[in-house]
Amino acid sequence: MIKIIGAVMVIAGTALCGYISVGKMKRRVKCLNSIAASLSLMESEITDRLTPMPELLERLSDDAFYPASLLYARTAENLEKLGEIAFSEIWGEAVDAESALILSPEEREILRRLGMSLGKYSAYEQKKAIEYARRKIEDAAERADAEREKNSRVQTALGLAAGIFTVIIFI
């Protein structure tokens, strides 16, 4: 009886690892999509309404979807350092520090580079920088979603198979 309970627990544990991996892939797609959507909002606010950066960051921290909203909130919180350090550094620190953003190093670099243009150049030049970053993030979201679709069943099956093989080895 104890062997059966142990076998079930091993299989359940490894299957759970597979499900967790699938969940992480889904969260990554959601993260990238939330950033892309918030960049669209940022673009319209800067070009159409000429919203000042502090007000824009506050609005995005309230209106953007999670986890992108955390990036804007962290940046807004650190604006008090503006003058001591450049806005691009404040933005870059927020991009690097926000652990809820499930981004690759390349995607983080895209956002860091965007910060070098925000609030520094004309609205038109900022629009171009935001469009570029948004397109790159949207492309990453499409790739991540395709990877999720391709690998979801594999990850789940691998977790389950690993548990079954482990049980067979121990029996």
At residue 167, the pLDDT reads: 80
Contacts of 14 (CB under 8 A, 6+ apart): 159, 160, 162, 163, 166
The residue with greater pLDDT, 147 or 170, is 147
What tokens does 39 get?
Answer: 């960049």
**What is the band of 170 on the pLDDT scale with cuts at 50, 70, 90?**
confident
Q: Answer with the residue of higher pLDDT: 15 or 71.
A: 71
DSSP states of 119-162 as a string?
TTS-HHHHHHHHHHHHHHHHHHHHHHHHHHHHHHHHHHHHHHHH
Band (pLDDT 50/70/90 cuts) for residue 49 is confident
Mean pLDDT (the chain, rounded): 90
Of 23-32, 134-143, 147-156, the range with the highest mean pLDDT is 134-143
Q: What value does the mean pLDDT take over residues 152-171?
A: 81
Average pLDDT of the residues in 11-19: 83
Q: What is the pLDDT of residue 23?
A: 85
pLDDT higher than threshold 90 for residue 9? no
pLDDT digits (tens, 9 = 90+) for 91-140: 999 999 988 899 999 999 999 999 999 988 888 999 999 999 999 999 99
